[in-house]
Amino acid sequence: AEHQHARYNPLRDDWVLVSAHRVKRPWQGQLEKPPPEDVPRWDPNNPLCPGATRANGEVNPQYEGTFVFPNDFPALQPDAPEPGDSDHPLFQAAAARGVCKVMCFHPWSDLTLPLMSLAEIRAVIDAWAELAAELGASYPWVQIFENKGAMMGCSNPHPHCQVWASSFLPNEARLEDRTQRQHLSQHGVPMLLEYAEQEARRKERLVVENENWLAVVPYWATWPYQTLLLPRRHVCRLQDLHEGERDSLASIMQRLLIKYDNLFEVSFPYSMGWHGAPTGPYLEEDCGHWQLHAHYYPPLLRSATVRKFMVGYEMLAQAQRDLTPEQAAERLRSLPEVHYKQKAK
């Protein structure tokens, strides 16, 4: 807890430098602007609102729940041409095709997931699972991810996420596929199933848990208050969750995200995403080495205005953090599960 050391991340096959004493140093660097508290519930100029006109001229329906539509500026398109043959092994290119969708969680712009009801969060989970199954019928990888807050690149203040389906396995997917496959081969049990059992027993990095799920600050966490959301049962894909697991997922997500917001009493920014077994052609293969999980990567370190920057040593050598995962977990665990905005009311 007081001295620097390195920790191994078996999921990524890399290391993180833990330098807990550095959190005591004075900060004279950049201060971020806190997110606005006066977001209007409906704004005709916000392209994610019901009835608003998007950049391509399409008008959103007056939706009342979740709403999915094709990304107007997709990073992947289904009909991209082949890049052509390479004339040298150092200059390789490959085809990259896919589709990109946007999913609004709720019609109101002034809400975020921790402020939504359990039924509304459950509807989001069901929509995630439906999209994962629909796009996964043909695409090898379906990445569901949420960038929350302007600090994480979110350009529209509205509760939403993105879903990108690709004709290839992205880098992180290929890496996790390899490490989980190796672990099952060597130890006879899926890595993250074994890890969840260990963390449930040890408790020191546990943030919240229920009968089907647990959220921990992983032993190898890189970001200050990074968490890993894990099912207790062996589940390969989001669409494989049964009714009870989806209900309890809505509950544990709400509890975790309320704690995030309560940490600095601000709408907590993060990037999160689901990782599960590949789909498309992989649906016919044995993917039992995979365990479904969600990563949460929040940047805030000391306050609502001081963030962790991945620069210098992190970019040129290896990841480094300024407080131990155990310290981060204890702080999150001790926070109330009533949102600070609701408590004020």
Assess contact for 101 and 87: CB atoms under 8 A: no
Q: What angle do CA 60, 58, 133 make, to 5 degrees?
A: 65
Assess contact for 339 and 265: CB atoms under 8 A: no
Assess contact for 83 and 93: CB atoms under 8 A: yes
Residue 302 annotated as binding site: no
Residues 6+ apart with CB under 8 A from 333: 206, 207, 208, 259
Distance, CA of 278 to chain centre:
17
Residue 88 annotated as binding site: no
Residue 59 annotated as binding site: no
Quick one: which H or E segment has residue 142?
A: strand 141-148
* Catalytic (active site) residue 339: no
Residue 147 annotated as binding site: yes
Residue 295 annotated as binding site: yes
Residue 153 annotated as binding site: yes
Residue 22 annotated as binding site: yes
Catalytic residue (choose from 106, 158, 160, 289): 160
Residue for token digits 């019609």?
107
Cα(178)–Cα(205) distance, rounded to whole angstroms? 25
Distance, CA of 321 to chain centre:
19
Residue 155 annotated as binding site: yes
Residue 23 annotated as binding site: yes
Residue 69 annotated as binding site: no
Residue 339 annotated as binding site: no
Q: What angle do CA 195, 198, 201 make, to 5 degrees?
A: 150
Cα(45)–Cα(54) distance, rounded to whole angstroms? 9
Residue 71 annotated as binding site: yes
Residue 211 annotated as binding site: no
Residue 343 annotated as binding site: no
Distances, alpha carbon 59 to alpha carbons 47, 56, 62, 102, 321, in Å: 9, 9, 9, 14, 45
Binding site for Fe cation: which residues? 176, 275, 293, 295
Binding site for UDP-alpha-D-glucose: which residues? 22-25, 55, 71-72, 147, 153-155, 162, 308-309, 313-314, 320
Binding site: which residues? 22-25, 55, 71-72, 147, 153-155, 162, 176, 275, 293, 295, 308-309, 313-314, 320
Q: Could you give the residue numbers annotated as active site?
A: 160
